[in-house]
Structure 1
Amino acid sequence: MNRRSIAALSSGPQNSGRVVRWHLRLREDLTTMAKRRNFSPGFKATVALAEIRSDGKIAELPIRYKVHPSMIGNWKRTALEGLKTTFARGAAASTYRDREEEITRLQAKIGELVMERDFLDEAFDR
């Protein structure tokens, strides 16, 4: 609808401006979408830790942090799953060190084999 058709619908000159302003405000509200909120990992960790520490005071956390309760539950679940892998990293770190040592040993062996191949190529080229 344009302004003239909206003004024609109003019941008199005193209401025409009000109807037009209302329609324009409505159109602006429909065209501008709310932006999705992005939360930093630090904020998520803070909220999840508060959820873990809370003793039955779960209802106040969404109000305090202005976040939906389901989001807090998701962040708490993710944090608890992350804790499991955090404590398992000791074994993973030693495995990583073992792999690094193996890579170093294999690279040295490759160097030896390349030198041997080059030597044999020169010996048989005569």
Structure 2
Amino acid sequence: MHIERRINHVDVNEERRVRHVDFKKDRRTHHADFKEERRGYSADFKAKVALAAMKDDKTIAELAMQFAVHPTQISLWKQQLLNNLNRVFDNDYDNSENKAKTAESHHAKIGQLTAENDFLTKVLGR
């Protein structure tokens, strides 16, 4: 009888080990599937959600259900909005139009200086 118990005990442990291995395998495949479902959000959508969170007329949980976003994500976007709000009123703040014009003028200046350099190289014979 003592031998039977020992055999049953070993069988139970073997079964547990097999279950554990199967669980790990299932978890890995589930985790891999989750990565495929991941999605990015546009800046406009993030701003819309963050502004809705700033209004405080709905709770974060209600906004999460409304926009189908995790509540923690909404809190992070709200915090990012608060941290970067001062940039809107900053005098040195360049919008994308000003940056494009500046880059264009720099490229023109580089082209002009390159042409002058080539001309002087030919004239001086270097």
Which stretches of structure 1, 4 residues or longer, exceed 6 Å deviation after superposition? none
Please name the residue that 2:9 is paired with.
9
Please report how far the alpha carbon of residue 73 of structure 1 lies from its aligned counterpart in structure 2 after TM superposition. 0.8
Find the aligned partners of 1:42 and 1:25 in 2 and give their Cα distance. 42
Please report how far the alpha carbon of residue 66 of structure 1 lies from its aligned counterpart in structure 2 after TM superposition. 5.8
Please report how far the alpha carbon of residue 84 of structure 1 lies from its aligned counterpart in structure 2 after TM superposition. 5.6
1:42 and 2:42 aligned? yes
Please report how far the alpha carbon of residue 111 of structure 1 lies from its aligned counterpart in structure 2 after TM superposition. 0.8
Q: Which of 106, 114, 124 is residue 120 of structure 1 equivalent to?
A: 124
- Contact 2:60–2:75 (Cα < 8 Å) also in 1: no
1:27 and 2:31 aligned? no
TM-aligned CA distance change 1:47 to 1:66, over 3 Å: same
Please report how far the alpha carbon of residue 95 of structure 1 lies from its aligned counterpart in structure 2 after TM superposition. 4.8
| RMSD (Å), alpha carbons | 4.2
**Aligned residue-pair number:** 109
Please report how far the alpha carbon of residue 41 of structure 1 lies from its aligned counterpart in structure 2 after TM superposition. 1.5
- Structure 1: stretches of 5+ with no match in the other structure: 1-6, 11-15
- Contact 2:53–2:74 (Cα < 8 Å) also in 1: yes
Find the aligned partners of 1:96 and 1:27 in 2 and give their Cα distance. 57
1:73 and 2:67 aligned? no
Find the aligned partners of 1:24 and 1:49 in 2 and give their Cα distance. 50
Query: With structure 2 as the length reference, what TM-score do the two structures score?
Result: 0.52
Identity %: 19
- Contact 2:53–2:63 (Cα < 8 Å) also in 1: yes
SS at match of 2:78: helix
- Structure 2: stretches of 5+ with no match in the other structure: 1-6
Please name the residue that 1:13 is paired with.
none
1:101 maps to a residue whose letter is: S
TM-aligned CA distance change 1:108 to 1:66, over 3 Å: closer
SS at match of 2:104: helix
TM-aligned CA distance change 1:113 to 1:23, over 3 Å: closer
